[in-house]
Structure 1
Amino acid sequence: EDPCYPSPCGTNARCRPVDGGAVCECFENYFGNPYTSCRPECVTNSECSRNTACIQNRCKDPCPGVCGHNAECSVINHTPTCTCREGMVGNAFEQCLREEKPPAPSDPCYPSPCGLNTVCRSSGGNAVCECLPDFKGTPFGRGCYPECTINSDCPRDKTCVNKKCVDPCPGVCGYRAVCHAINNSPVCSCPNNMIGDPFVECKEAAPKDPCNPSPCRTNGICRVVGGRAECQYPECVINSDCSPNRACFNQKCRDPCVGACGVNAICNVVNHAPICSCPER
């Protein structure tokens, strides 16, 4: 008998038979009591320290690969923020360059009349301000800003990644799992009639045995016919289940006289019992 079927383990735990007993273990990168429930290190950023973010259910530094060349990355409230190093300018998300010497005073872009996160270009002796790529706003006024800096800047079905509101679901859930973005975070679940760890793989649930537990009354035998449970009951269990001139043999009502009396004897059944007597001469 397999001690792991049915599994005594909790959610997100695997069962391993050891010396005839069942040992429960949490899946890799899951924590908790495997006999009740295991969970990933994190599901939302709020479960991590403020200088890390929840990436693929692990609290990690969100900075690697985010900022451009010569830029520095700092994490503010789980979100990576890129800035150019001292003495450098440019789009910190792409590339920072050494600040050039001030142009001639005749340049309408010096000093720049533009706001933050803008680029100024001269056109016909006038300054033309434009937002940096992927930024929006008023380049001549308060300046331009990225689409988002924290998740709450995005719709509830998006999350803030690299200053953009994107779908948080791609690549998060396991095989056959369904992903829904709820409150800016991906939530994985298995479809109906499927079981498993939605962060790893969802599988078809084993068909339920309609005879377990048995729906039959005492002494009934349950059989599966056409996917449904059918109960079969014996003709008798004790003699009183039969007519007075019959007795219960192997759960069947039979004539108790068969083979009961000797040669030339007469057999009569009284209250299920055979009575043998010799005929009168």
Structure 2
Amino acid sequence: ESIAVAVNRISVTVSIGSGKPEGRHSDGIHIFCGAMGIHKQEIVQLLWCLLLVNIDHIHCETPNFVIVGADCNNNGDCNTVLTCIDKKCKYPCPGPCQGNTTCEVHDHVPYCACKPGFSGNPFTGCQEEVPVNQCNNNTPCDSLLACINGKCQDPCPGPCYGNTFCVVLKHVPFCGCNPGFSGNSYTGCQEQGSVDQCNDNNNCDKLLACVNGKCKDPCSGLCSDNATCEVHDHVPYCTCMSGFSGNPIIGCKDIARYSHRCLITGIRPSGKKIYRVERFIKVNFYAAFSHCITHGGRLATVESTDENALIKEEIRKTGIRNYEFWTSGTNLGGDWLWMSSGEGLPEFRDWNVLEPNNLGGNEHCLEFYEKNSNGYMWNDKSCNQ
């Protein structure tokens, strides 16, 4: 089948293969062609147009102008966007260019380049570029940002759920209920005045928790990607999946390996503090802080020798030796204070020998650590471990 195409006084006979090329109008192939300004560009534009519809052969009646399919002895016999291959003028792309590349022809020569977002050798194949970590911890980030998956990002809404607001203090997201709502901002706030279904967890099945007067699945929306959630006696525990580690509430990564457990502070009706050792999970300081709030308490504060002794006794009861347990003590602003209460450390201190030493200039959180025969004592540690 032949089609005669006229382009500004240049008559071209086109020989096409069987079947209707995709996108070609019944009245010709002008759908792919655009108006051009000068003689040479018109022919080149026509060439591209014809290539798009799988033209087998083109013969131009215009003297001294050769394009696809014409006989040749060398590149000089062909248009500059063609190459003399096997004695025929042919379009050389993609030719030597391999996967994830682009190909352009200049003066008969095909040039290969990697597509945007890819790098490598375009003649053997380009690979997707691996992003470089912007940060490994919160230190290089603005105080209103946190290091999440190697990038300084806004940690809000992060652990905050329905009907809440989120603010960031020294890289840490804190949640609160919106006006007119109350409850636990880390599991979701409820409109005030709703009818209570429960008063405490004892009114609910062991796999549910009493949240704002309702028996609910405490795992719902709590854990991040690459994490699982299990409920033990009303308490949800997020853990990173096998091969991942980190903060199971914000995001588990496959690099850092955390080793800390956390200490939850609670208040009895009498006003006396109680402590509970969270022994099922190992998280960094920020995840420990959020975890304790989510589970009805606060990351531990120590305000007296009696409270310090009580914590040590609770750790001793677990039978765990040579591990590390977070408290809410931090010196992120330069002075040591309890993050859970905002109060400074008491005159009483229980630092281990030669502590705090701020090793590497990055130890800003307070833990209980069994370093030697002295038993569990205070130690400063990187908040991201």
Using structure 1 for the length normalisation, give the TM-score: 0.30
Per residue, is there more strand in 1 or in 2?
1
Per residue, is there more helix in 1 or in 2?
2
Compare CA radii of gyration and give the structure with the larger one.
1
Using structure 2 for the length normalisation, give the TM-score: 0.23
